[in-house]
Amino acid sequence: MADRKSYQRQYYRKQAMNSMRRTIKNLKALRKQFLESPEGIAYKKRLREDYAKKYREKNFEKMKAYLKEYRVL
């Protein structure tokens, strides 16, 4: 009897893992499809611009010192 319960537990655990793998695979495909669409391209561009803006605000003094030192007129 104990062997049967163990077998059933292994079977359902395997089924659950396969289900999760399929879910992850489908989500990755959906994400890739979205990122290749016009909306996804605009989304990536917006994220990139936001990151650049935050970086410039955070490192303004460093960038200013660098420009002062290495600016070629």
Show the CA angle centred on residue 8, arms to residues 3 and 10, nearest 5°: 95
Mean pLDDT score, 2-8: 77
| pLDDT tens per residue, range 9-47 | 899 999 999 999 999 999 999 999 999 999 999 999 999
Q: What is the pLDDT of residue 5?
A: 81
Q: What is the pLDDT of residue 58?
A: 95
What residues does each domain of the chain span?
A: 1-36, 38-73
* DSSP code per residue over 1-50: -HHHHHHHHHHHHHHHHHHHHHHHHHHHHHHHHHHHSHHHHHHHHHHHHH
pTM of the model: 0.62
Mean pLDDT over each residue of the chain, to the nearest integer: 92
Show the CA angle centred on residue 37, arms to residues 31 and 40, nearest 5°: 65
